[in-house]
Amino acid sequence: MERMEAVELHAPEGVRCYVEFRVSEESTALAGAETDLISPDIEYLVGVSGGRDSIVLLKWLSSQGFENLIVCHFNHCLRGEDSDDDERFVKEQAEALGYSCISVRNDSSIFAAQSKQSIETAARESRYRFFARVAREKSCQRLILAHHADDQVETVLMNLFRGSGLKGLGGMEPVSHREIDGIPLEIIRPFLKVTRDELEEFRARHDLMFREDSTNIELNATRNRVRHELIPLAEDIFSRDTGPAILRLSEIAGMEFSASLVRAGRWLSTHQLPPGGLPLKALRALPPADLSQVLHLWLKNRNVKDCGYQKVQNIITMARSDDKPAKVNLPGGLHARRRSGVVFISDEG
């Protein structure tokens, strides 16, 4: 398919001259991009670091007719003048495409030391808090990010070795929702089925400039080691590209998790007792996988935060036993208890 575009040519002062030329739709297409997740008629925030992936995202959105974009750049101040140059570059790219740009400077190494987190974790948390602040200020709670298929492979592998369940093996979702500092944020990732090579092909076709982050090749960050050491080793061992198989695992795990979540929700809707307890006999009748998912969802619905695999297993052990103590300590000074045939949550000591 082709479309017509008109471009203004340089001409004598006071004279405007245009020429029409044909542009192939294929030049702005990006196979695998999930265009049904977003609409050109809606306003979005777009996270742009200045690297190849986010610059391709910005150009692609522009080529698809997205006019209501607010470019968001977080300067982590981790690479001195290079970080400042990234910020200037993003502002220039946004201006060239007709978009407003909001940026902020915050030294993530200081926040990492204060919060006793890794630089990688602190930088991610700082960035998302920034997105949330902009979302509140601009009354725009939809954020588009450039995560792609290769990022998904790395995420699934990292979650695998952290001992994750189906949710983690499903990796990043095309559309997810997070509440950050009390601000709800819808996060959209239209490139999760687009590979890094395909993004590079698009970048080269459009001769896009981008900023190279030197920290992407440093091996002190877990993700970088997965990218530069673990994945190449796996491909060497199996003599093939392992990415498609890992992505297939991610898709299957995501579907299985969604199905288990639906079952758990239905079970809770018919079995939960006022004011939120669970009938012990019905719990004990559940298959192990469903029991675990029911308890995870129950805890989440009861606003019990940071309850992972081990806490749920402790509740399962308590529910299946008739022994004492019939209590499991939970975060926030809460407790899961078993009493009179009911499992419930209490703030009593």
Domain boundaries, the chain: 26-238, 272-346
- Tokens linked to 285: 């009748």
Burial environment of residue 96 by CB neighbours within 10 A (0 to 12, 13 to 18, 19 or more): exposed
Can the peptide bond before residue 325 be classed as cis, meaning omega within 30 degrees of 0?
Answer: yes
The Cα 230–Cα 97 span in angstroms is 38
Please tell me the number of Cα atoms within 13 Å of 129 on its side-chain side.
14
* pLDDT for the residue numbered 22: 44
The residue among 186, 165, 157 whose CA lies nearest residue 295 is 165
* pLDDT for the residue numbered 51: 96
User: Who contacts 147 (Cβ-Cβ below 8 Å, separation ≥6)?
Assistant: 53, 172, 189, 191, 192
171, 159 in Cβ contact below 8 A?
yes
Same fold yes or no, 26-238 and 272-346: no
Helix 149-161 to helix 231-238 angle, to the nearest 10 degrees? 90
283, 316 in Cβ contact below 8 A?
no
**CATH: 1.10.10.10, 3.40.50.620, 3.40.50.920, 3.40.50.261. Which one for 26-238?**
3.40.50.620
User: Who contacts 90 (Cβ-Cβ below 8 Å, separation ≥6)?
Assistant: 48, 49, 50, 71, 73, 101, 103
Q: Is 171 left (phi over 0), alpha (psi -120 to 50) or beta?
A: left
Burial 40-66 (b: 16+ CB within 10 A, else e): eeeebbbbbbbbbbbbbbbbbbbbbeb
DSSP notation for 5-31: EEEEEP-STT--EEEEEEEEGGGT--T
* pLDDT for the residue numbered 305: 85
pLDDT along the chain (349 residues), means of 10: 45 42 55 93 97 97 96 93 95 97 93 87 93 97 98 98 94 96 96 97 96 71 92 97 97 97 97 94 96 96 89 96 91 94 89
The Cα 343–Cα 98 span in angstroms is 57
| CA geometry: angle 280, 285, 291, nearest 5 deg | 80
* pLDDT for the residue numbered 23: 43
* pLDDT for the residue numbered 8: 44
Burial environment of residue 314 by CB neighbours within 10 A (0 to 12, 13 to 18, 19 or more): middle
User: Who contacts 271 (Cβ-Cβ below 8 Å, separation ≥6)?
Assistant: 278, 279, 282
CATH entry 3.30.465 includes domain 272-346: yes
